Structure 1
Amino acid sequence: MTQPTTPEHLDVLVIGAGLSGINAGYRLQTECPARTWAILEGRDAVGGTWDLFRYPGIRSDSDMATLGFPFEPWSEGEAIAGGGQILDYIRRTAAKHGIDERIRLGHKVIAANWSSDDARWTVTVQRGDDTTTLTCGFLYLCSGYYDYASGHRPDFPGEERFRGQLVHPQFWPDDLEPDGSRIVVIGSGATAMTLVPALAERGAHVTMLQRSSTWVAALPRRDRVADAVRRVLPERPAGAVVRYKNVLTTMAFYQLSRRRPAWAKALLAKRIRRGLAPAADAGRLAAEHFTPSYDPWDQRLCVVPDGDLFDVLRDGRAEVVTDTIETFTERGLRLSSGRELEADVVVTATGLRILAAGGIDISVDGERCPASELWVYRGVMLGDVPNLALSIGYVNASWTLRSDLASRYVCRLLNHLAAEGLEVAVPTPPPGLVGQPLLPLSSGYVQRALTELPQQGDRAPWLMRQNYLLDRRDMLRGDVTEDMAFR
C-alpha cells in the first residue's frame, strides 16, 4: 500500500518574484540566515509587473533611487527608467545574490490554510494541470495587489461595430505596428501618458481621450544631483544619499499638497503651462486638459519625464481631447460633443484591477478570511491571522521603500520568535478601532476595490501610513510585541 507523501516544509514561503519578492529573499538570507525559505512565482518568469507589461514606452513613474533596492543601488544614468531596464535590474540582482536559486517558477498559489494544531500553513499550489501542497511556518505575500489576469475594462456602447483593433495595455500584442496608424488612447492616468509620446515617436498620430484631467509633473529623466553624488562617493553611500534626497523631496511636496493644496495647484499649473509653451494656446490647453477639479495627491500624481508628453502635443503628433464617449462607430468613436474621432486602433488605458492577497483563498482552521473583514497591522500583517505578512508599497512614493521596510519587519519578528522559543505571532485588534480605507486615494481603481480590501484603524499600530520616516522608525525599532499574541 502506497503511503501518502509528506508535503515539503519550509520555514518561510514568499509568494511572488517581482521587486517585493526579490527584496524579501535578500532580507531573509541576510537577516534570518538559519531559516529555510523559497519564492513561489505563478508565472514562468521573474520580474512581476515589469515582466508582465510590454506596452510601448513602459517605464517607472517613481525615481529609481527609491524604486531600486537599497542593498543594490541603481547605478544607471536615467532616474526615470524604462521597463526593460528595470526588468534586467531585477533579474541581475536576483542572480548576483543567489536569490534566483530559491525561485520556483510556474508555482501559482491558489489557497492557504492555517492549522492552529500544527502551527503551520498548508499551501495549495497549481503547476500546469496539476496541484501540489507545501507547508510553511510563515507565509509572506509579495504579489502586490494588482490582478495580473485582467485589467479594468468598461463596456463601451457600440464597440462591437468598431472595425479597427481594440487593445488593453495589459495585453499588448507583439505584432501591433504603430507607424502611420491613427490611435486613440482612452484614459488620463500614468499608462495613457506613457503610451501617447511613445506611440507618437513610433510614427502614429495619437489622440489621448480623457473623461477628466489628471495632475501632471514634468521631471528630468536624469538626476544631475545623483550624478554629482556618484562621482564623489562609493556606490552604497551614494545610493543612500540620493535615496534620502528623493524621499524628502517627495514627502515635502506631498505635505504641501495636503496642507496647502492651492499652492501645490499653482506650482503644478505653472510648470504645465511652461511645458506646453511656446504653443500659442498653452494657457487654454493647460486650463482645459491639465487642470483637474481635485487637489494634487487626491489621486496619484502622473510623472512626465523630460516633458515628453508636452513635446508631442506641441509639435502636433498628438492631441488631447477632454470629452465622454457616446458610442463606438465602425471607424472610431463619436463623442458626447458630437465630434468623431477616426481610429485604426483604440487603446483602453482605463485602469487596473485590484486583487487582494493575490487572489489566494486564505483560511484559518478551515474558516475563510475575506480580506474585506480584516484589519491591517502596521500595514504588514492582518488582524487575527497568524504568521502571515503582505508587502504593500506606498501610493505617494516608491513601492520599494515600504516593501523593504515590510521585509525587514518580518525578519525582526521571525528573529524575535526564534529568540523567545515561540512559533506563532497573531496581531490582535483592540476593541474600539474605527475603520478607514486602506489606500488614501480617490482614484477609480482604488474606489472600485474598497469593498475588497482590508481596512486600517484610527491609531497605531493599526495604521497604513504614507510616511516613510515614521514607518522606518516604527518598523525597524518599534515594539514587535505591541497588540500581538504569541505562543
Structure 2
Amino acid sequence: MLATPPDFDVLIVGAGLSGIGMGAHMKMKAPGHSFCIVERREQIGGTWDLFRYPGIRSDSDMHTLGFDFEPWKHEKSIADAPAILDYLNRIADERDIRRHIRFGHKVISADFRPDEARWHVTVEAEDGERKRITANFLYLGSGYYDYDDPYDAGFDFSEFEGTVVHPQFWPEDLDYADKKVVVVGSGATAVTLVPAMAEKAAHVTMLQRTPTWMFSRPAKDAIANFLRKILPGELAYRITRFKNIKMQSFSFKQARNKPEKVKQYLHKRIEKVLGKNYDKASFTPPYNPWDQRLCLVPDDDLFEAMNTGKASVHTGHIAKFEKNGVRLKSGELLEADIIVTATGLRLAIAGKIAISLAGEPVDFSQRYYYKGCMFSNLPNLAVVFGYLNASWTLRADINSDFICRVLNHMKETGSDLATPLLTPETEAAIEEDNIFDFSSGYIQRALDIMPKSAKAYPWRLNQDYVFDRKMMKDGPIEDGLLTFTSSSAGNAHIPEELEAAE
C-alpha cells in the first residue's frame, strides 16, 4: 500500500435520496469506514431541491420512496417537495450526516488507479477552483438525468409573444394568475403542473401528442394512518411498506399479464370522476399500461380541475407557435399567455462525470450491469439507478446495504480491489436484453449511452425489487464473479483476468 492513505474510504457523489441513504447506511452498517459526500448544490435534496414548479410532489408513495430505516410519519403518503426535504434534512441532522457533506463541489472527473487502489477525483468549487480528492471506493448517487440540459423538443418560439418556461428551470417570480397557460406534455410533470396552476390561472390546457395512462388514488394512506395510531411507528411503517411493495408488484404484473383488464380498471376510475361522457380517447394511449410509467393523479386533482372548467386535456399535433398561442395541425389555435414545455428529461450516465480506469476513458455502454449496482471489470465503483416500475429508493436501499457488505468484506479480507469480473469467454456467451422494457421517450432516446443488461441475473439491471432484495441481502458476497484482490506494496496490479477482459 502507498504510505499515504486516501482522503476517504468512500466518496459519495450527490446529497439526494441516494447519497443521504448511503451515508446513513454507512453509519449503521460500515461504521469503520470514513466517507465524504460531495454535492454541487448548496442544499441536500437533489431532485427535490432542484425542481421548484407549482405542485411538485412524489409520484410514488412515501412508504416506499422513504428509506427502509426511517419511517415516514406525515399524514400524506403522496408528499410535496417541502415535506420530502424535511424528511431528508431530519435524517441528515439526526444521523450526523451533514458534517460529512461538502456543498458547492461539482465532480468533474474520476480516474481509478489500480496501482494505488484508489480514485483520483477532480472537483470544482463554486469559485472555479479545482481540487483533488482521493478515495478507495466511489459511490454515485448523482441521479439519472442531466441537471443542466433538459430534453429540447426543437420547438420554434420566435413568433410567440408570451412567456416560455421549462419546469426544470422554473422562475421564482413567474406570475400566472388569471393567465391562459398551455402545458406541452403528458407525463408526470404535466399531470402535476396542470391542477396546481389551475388554482390561480384563468385556464390551463394540457396539450398532449399522445395520451398517458393515469391512475388515481388518495394522497393519504388510510391504512397507514390507522396503523400508526395503534402500533409503534416502526412496526406500522414496516407493515405499510410491505403492503405497498406487494401492491406495486401485483399491479405491474397484472398490467403485463392482463393489460385489457387493467385498462378497464383505469378507465372506470376516471369515469367515476369525469362522468360517462368524458373524452375516453384522450385517456387511452396506443400502448399497454406499464409499457410506460403510469401517471399518478392524487385525490383526482387533475380530473377535479377539469370538472370545474379550469383545466382541460387536448390531444393534437403542434403545427407552430404563433403570436397568441399554439396552432395545431388540425388548424385549431390554443390561446396562451404562458407555455410550459414539460417535454421530458435527458438521461445522463454517471452524473456526466468523466470516469476513467488507469487513464483510459470508461464507455459505460460497453459494460454490463452487475446486480444493478456495479459494472463489469470496473473496480470499486457503485451506482444507483432506481426502479422504473417502483419507487427509486427501493433500489437505493438495497444497493447501499450491499456495498456496505462489500466494504466490510474488503476490510475483513485485507483486499482493496472489488471487481465484478467478466471474462471475454463469459461475455461472449451472454444473451443481451433490452435494458428497459419501456417505450418512454426519455428511455428510448438514451439507449445508446446506457450500460448493457443481460437476460440472466446478475449481469442485468433488474426490475423486480422482491427478487433483487433477496439476492442482494442474502446472497453470498463472494459469488465467483465479484473478485476481491489486494494491490501490491507500491506496485499494485490489475488481476490478469481483468487485463484480458480490458
Same topology, TM > 0.5:
yes
Task: State the partner residue of 2:55.
Answer: 57
CA distance in 2: counterparts of 1:148 and 1:415, whole angstroms: 33
The amino acid of 2:461's aligned partner reads M
> Does structure 1 residue 481 correspond to structure 2 residue 478?
yes
Q: CA RMSD in A?
A: 1.2
CA distance in 2: counterparts of 1:199 and 1:366, whole angstroms: 49
Inter-CA distance 473–8: structure 2 relative to 1 (3 Å threshold): closer
Task: State the partner residue of 1:391.
Answer: 384
> Does structure 1 residue 38 correspond to structure 2 residue 36?
yes
> Does structure 1 residue 167 correspond to structure 2 residue 160?
no
Task: State the partner residue of 1:241.
Answer: 239
> Does structure 1 residue 331 correspond to structure 2 residue 291?
no
Task: State the partner residue of 1:459.
Answer: 456
SS of the residue corresponding to residue 7 of structure 2 reads: strand
Task: State the partner residue of 1:134.
Answer: 133
The amino acid of 2:140's aligned partner reads L
CA contact (8 A) 1:185 1:207 kept: yes
CA distance in 2: counterparts of 1:56 and 1:149, whole angstroms: 20
CA distance in 2: counterparts of 1:288 and 1:231, whole angstroms: 43
Give the gaps of 5 or more residues in structure 2.
486-502
Task: State the partner residue of 1:443.
Answer: 440
Task: State the partner residue of 1:3.
Answer: none
Moved more, 451-460 or 426-435: 426-435
SS of the residue corresponding to residue 161 of structure 1 reads: coil
SS of the residue corresponding to residue 21 of structure 1 reads: helix
Post-superposition offset of 1:7: 9.3
Task: State the partner residue of 2:79.
Answer: 81
Equivalent position to 1:310, from 303, 318, 323? 303
Inter-CA distance 150–204: structure 2 relative to 1 (3 Å threshold): farther
CA contact (8 A) 1:376 1:455 kept: yes
Post-superposition offset of 1:142: 0.5
> Does structure 1 residue 425 correspond to structure 2 residue 424?
no
SS of the residue corresponding to residue 477 of structure 2 reads: coil
SS of the residue corresponding to residue 409 of structure 2 reads: helix
Residue pairs, 1:104-183, within 5 angstroms: 104-128=102-126, 129-157=128-156, 159-183=157-181
CA distance in 1: counterparts of 2:14 and 2:173, whole angstroms: 29
Post-superposition offset of 1:417: 1.1
> Does structure 1 residue 185 correspond to structure 2 residue 183?
yes
Equivalent position to 1:281, from 277, 283, 294? 277
Post-superposition offset of 1:72: 1.4
Task: State the partner residue of 2:494.
Answer: none
Task: State the partner residue of 2:268.
Answer: 270
> Does structure 1 residue 342 correspond to structure 2 residue 343?
no
Task: State the partner residue of 1:412.
Answer: 405
CA distance in 2: counterparts of 1:469 and 1:155, whole angstroms: 40
Post-superposition offset of 1:281: 2.4
SS of the residue corresponding to residue 154 of structure 1 reads: coil
The amino acid of 1:439's aligned partner reads F
TM-score (norm. length: structure 1): 0.96
Post-superposition offset of 1:439: 2.5
SS of the residue corresponding to residue 453 of structure 2 reads: coil
Task: State the partner residue of 2:488.
Answer: none
CA distance in 1: counterparts of 2:6 and 2:55, whole angstroms: 42
Post-superposition offset of 1:91: 1.1
Task: State the partner residue of 2:46.
Answer: 48
Corresponding residue pairs, total: 476
CA contact (8 A) 2:368 2:460 kept: no
The amino acid of 1:27's aligned partner reads H
The superposition leaves residues 101-144 of structure 1 with CA deviations (integer Å, 9 ceiling, x where unpaired) of: 11110111111101111111101111121111011000000011
CA distance in 1: counterparts of 2:388 and 2:200, whole angstroms: 31
Matched-pair identity in %:
47
Task: State the partner residue of 1:365.
Answer: 358
The superposition leaves residues 206-247 of structure 1 with CA deviations (integer Å, 9 ceiling, x where unpaired) of: 010000100000010101000111111111111110001000
CA distance in 1: counterparts of 2:468 and 2:233, whole angstroms: 25
CA distance in 2: counterparts of 1:155 and 1:163, whole angstroms: 18
The superposition leaves residues 39-84 of structure 1 with CA deviations (integer Å, 9 ceiling, x where unpaired) of: 0101121110000000000000000111112211110100101111
Post-superposition offset of 1:436: 2.1
The amino acid of 1:475's aligned partner reads M
CA contact (8 A) 1:7 1:133 kept: no
CA contact (8 A) 1:17 1:47 kept: yes
CA contact (8 A) 2:180 2:201 kept: no
CA contact (8 A) 1:7 1:134 kept: no
Post-superposition offset of 1:8: 6.0
CA distance in 1: counterparts of 2:115 and 2:218, whole angstroms: 56
CA distance in 1: counterparts of 2:202 and 2:37, whole angstroms: 41
CA distance in 2: counterparts of 1:165 and 1:423, whole angstroms: 55
SS of the residue corresponding to residue 410 of structure 2 reads: helix
Task: State the partner residue of 2:348.
Answer: 355
CA distance in 2: counterparts of 1:330 and 1:435, whole angstroms: 49
CA contact (8 A) 2:6 2:136 kept: no
SS of the residue corresponding to residue 466 of structure 2 reads: helix
Moved more, 232-241 or 6-15: 6-15
Task: State the partner residue of 1:472.
Answer: 469
The amino acid of 2:36's aligned partner reads A
The amino acid of 1:184's aligned partner reads V
Query: Segments of 4+ in structure 1 off by > 6 A?
Result: none
SS of the residue corresponding to residue 73 of structure 1 reads: coil
